[in-house]
Amino acid sequence: MTTTNIAVKATQVHKAFGSLHVLKGVDLTVETGTVTVILGPSGSGKSTLLRLINQLETLTGGRIEVDGEMIGYKEVERGGQTVLQTLDDKDIARQRAKLGMVFQKFNLFPHMTALENVMEAPVHVAHTPKDQARKEAIEELNRVGMGDRLNYYPMQLSGGQQQRVAIARALAMHPDIMLFDEPTSALDPELVGEVLNVMRSLAKAGMTMICVTHEIGFAREVADQIVFMDGGVVVEKGGPEIIDHPKEPRFKDFLNHVL
C-alpha cells in the first residue's frame, strides 16, 4: 500500500491552544514497520503530537505527512502562488482511516457490545457486508484474547479487557499505522501486562506503531526508536539503548524519576 518506507514525517510542527504554546517545532520520522515510543513528563506535548497526526487537533504550524501524503491540507494554485487549502470532512476521514488510535480512557461505545464495537466502523464506514464484518471482528477479538467476551458490554469488562477490545476495534479498519495514547495509564497495575502483551505481538507482526507511554520496560524491549520530549520540543532521540545511556540531563532526570 505504501509508496514510501516513511510512514509518518512531521516537520517543524507547532501547536498552540490560544496563547499556550504546546509544541515548539517538533520533527519526527517514523519508518514503516517500526515502533516508536514517545516518552516525556506530562504536559510535554506528546499526546498533542499524536492527536495532530490523527487530526483530532489542527496544526498551528509545520506539516505532517502520513504515507507521503500531507494531512489536513492540500496545496492549490492561487494567483501563481502555492497556498494551503483545508481538506473537507470526506478527505480527512479517508486519511484517518490509515491510522488506528487507542486512547487512555478506552472510549469504547458503552451502548454496544464488544463485538458491535469492533463491527461498527467496518459496517458503517468501510461498508463491509455484515456477515463478513462479524467474522473479521471475531478474528480481531480472538487476536487480543477477547474471543470469549463477544457479547459483553464495556461496563461488564475490566479496564484491561476494555482496552484490548479498543485495540481490536482500531485494528478492524486495517490501519497502516497504530497510535497509542497512554494505553495503560488508566489501568490497575495488575492489568497493564495483558495490554502490553497485545501491543508486543502487534509489534512483532510488523505493525507501524507510535506509542506514548510511561512503560520504560516495554519501550526498552519493543521500541526501534525512542523519542524524549519535554517542554514542547524533542530533547533526545535514538535507539532503545539511549534509555540506559541517556545523554541529556533532562532525560536522565526523567528516567531517574520513572525507573
What is the binding site for another protein (CB under 8 A)? Answer: 54, 56, 89-90, 93-94, 96-97, 99-101, 103, 105-113, 120-121, 124-126, 151-162, 166, 169-170, 173, 186-188, 191
Cβ atoms of 125 and 97 closer than 8 Å:
yes
Residues 210, 152: Cα–Cα separation, whole Å = 29
State which residue, 16 or 93, has the beta carbon closest to another protein.
Answer: 93
- The residue among 35 and 173 lying less far from another protein, judged by its C-beta, is 173
Smallest Cα–Cα separation from 249: which of 228, 225, 222? 228
Type of residue at 220:
R
Cell 496544526 found at: 59
CA distance 201 to 222: 10
Minimum distance of another protein from residue 83's CB (angstroms): 22
Nearer to another protein, 6 or 150 (CB): 150
CB of 253 to another protein, least distance (A): 31
Measuring CA to CA, how many Å separate 124 from each of 76, 173, 250? 32, 11, 46
Q: Shortest distance, CB of residue 230 to another protein, whole angstroms? A: 25
Task: Please state the closest distance from residue 92 (CB atom) to another protein, in A.
Answer: 9
Nearer to another protein, 9 or 164 (CB): 164
Q: Check residue 121 and give left, alpha or beta (phi > 0: left; psi -120 to 50: alpha).
A: alpha
Q: How far is the CB of 258 from another protein (least distance, A)?
A: 23
Residues 228 and 237 sit within 8 Å (Cβ to Cβ): yes
Nearer to another protein, 75 or 88 (CB): 88
| Structure letter (DSSP) for residue 87 | P
Closest contact distance (angstroms) between CB of 113 and another protein is 8
Question: Which residues, in sequence order, are CB contacts of 190 under 8 Å at separation 6+?
Answer: none
Cβ closer to another protein: 40 or 160?
160
Backbone angles phi, psi at 219, to 5 degrees: -60, -45
